[in-house]
Chains A and B, each alone.
Chain A
């Protein structure tokens, strides 16, 4: 994994790539790639490092959350300066993340976990599509768009995959609230129900 990171840094010095440690025993660490550089890095991985197989594309939702951070602060009490540990809450803005699991069929190696993050999950949800690099990402990116609302720039056919086209929301987001009845349509029956309710309440 660190070898891959060094190879990317050597070939594309301007690319924003960071190493992210995975605490799990399986040690599948990942590389976080800046959205602007994602296409270049993906092409380099495919053409030069042999990662020809984009196996899995997953969306992950990370809502805004508060993280407690301990900081050292200097405090002056009666002319004496002392250092005090203080715990403050810091707001981490929410973002959406798309995780690509890459394998190399030629070298029989992998997985290489590639993460691309959007900006604020409510406003800035565009990242470049990797479907032009790996055709296999086509339906999976459509699914991420459908269920998470990530917009993939440069995707050849970005439509909803599983939900119907008129559906407005993105059901896999953590703050999604399902309606009581997905197929609810107002009918004349509802007016009668309102009248009945008014009568029974008056009585």
Chain B
């Protein structure tokens, strides 16, 4: 017997979060059903940035798809370039010039550094540390974008890789500047960690939020840092040994419970490993041509067949599935977008959490809408 007056049956509220919302990292919308502040249903809505990239690429020549890949995950254009170049090289059996392999590793790991730096800033912004942390992160990111600009002519729309190599050689002094930046980068991570990692609010907002088991993560096709945060040892740089990653010594950091804190800290640890790879690659880069002279770029017609090429992008497994019918444009051009597929378990992660945690969970997955919607 209760002494309390009988309460009205609990009423749920539907909230449409986004597409114009500062914490959705772009034009992403979630239809959330709330019971009080607790999420009882969440439906992601996609397509606000859809321009059918795949169709555009199928109507253009093989080389003309390269600049379009910049616009997928526009935070990390150079890894997008590499994934596409790698798939075409697999399809047509093209060897890559030795010096270009080193340049690819250097640019890809720089991309990872600036992606993870930006990630730290964004997630802290999602938790309410609005502005300051992002400024610190973007200060580092700007330095790397300056290097990209010196190398490719553009900060973000780089269009740098070519089949069998790269578009242009390193400008004079670039390697020296990169070495300085790489040597100084751990200081930024130390600073970030000293300021934040032990912070009580940060721990309260991240630890134990949305934990994930490795079985669910694998079944949900999660990849990259989100998968490794659950404790799965799977890094495509180690598994596929694509490019020349087998020559470098680096570790694959792993989480243990797969909560937001693991996903957050994993990026910090990965950035430290990237610094190690960068140091080895800068020390080992040889002289030589930057593109395989036998590889054709314009008027390129790979023989009929198909190939799936993938790399470990900063956000996860970025793959390109290409079918050639022997003509000058792809018959089928499919992108495996890690940002979209990592959202598969978003509802599962968010159920039962508070509305304010949804932002943090979404931030900890790390998506870019240019890639989600393509």
Contact = CB atoms under 8 A, between A and B. Distances in A.
A202 interface: no
A178 B304 CA distance: 28
Given A24-B303, A55-B317, A162-B373, A108 B221 contact: no
Interface in A40-66: 52-56, 58, 60
A28 B307 CA distance: 7
Contacts of B92: 24-25
Contact of B222 (A60, A136, A138): A136
Interface stretch (B47-55, B167-175, B278-286): B47-55
Nearest to A108: B239
A136 B221 contact: yes
B234 A105 contact: yes
Interface in B216-241: 216, 218-223, 232, 234, 239
A52 B336 contact: no
Contacts of A24: 90-93, 302-307, 324
A111 interface: yes
A24 B309 CA distance: 13
Contacts, number: 105
Interface string B284-325: 000000000000000000111111111000000101010110
Interface residues of B, number: 44
A179 interface: no
Interface string B334-352: 1010001101110000000
Main DSSP-derived SS at the B contact region: mixed
A136 B334 contact: no
Interface in B29-56: 46-47, 50, 52, 54-55
B155 interface: no
B332 interface: yes
User: Which size class do A's interface residues fall under?
Assistant: 20 to 34
Nearest to B310: A55
A108 B234 contact: yes
Complex A-B, nearest 10 residue pairs according to Cβ-Cβ distance, in ascending order = A136-B221, A24-B305, A25-B93, A58-B334, A26-B90, A162-B47, A56-B336, A162-B50, A23-B305, A26-B307
Given A24-B92, A55-B317, A134-B219, 17 more contacts: A24-B307, A25-B91, A55-B336, A56-B334, A56-B336, A58-B334, A101-B308, A105-B234, A108-B234, A113-B308, A136-B344, A139-B46, A139-B343, A147-B52, A162-B52, A172-B52, A172-B55
Interface of B: 46-47, 50, 52, 54-55, 90-93, 216, 218-223, 232, 234, 239, 302-310, 317, 319, 321, 323-324, 332, 334, 336, 340-341, 343-345, 373-374
6 contacts: A25-B92, A28-B307, A54-B221, A55-B336, A135-B345, A162-B47
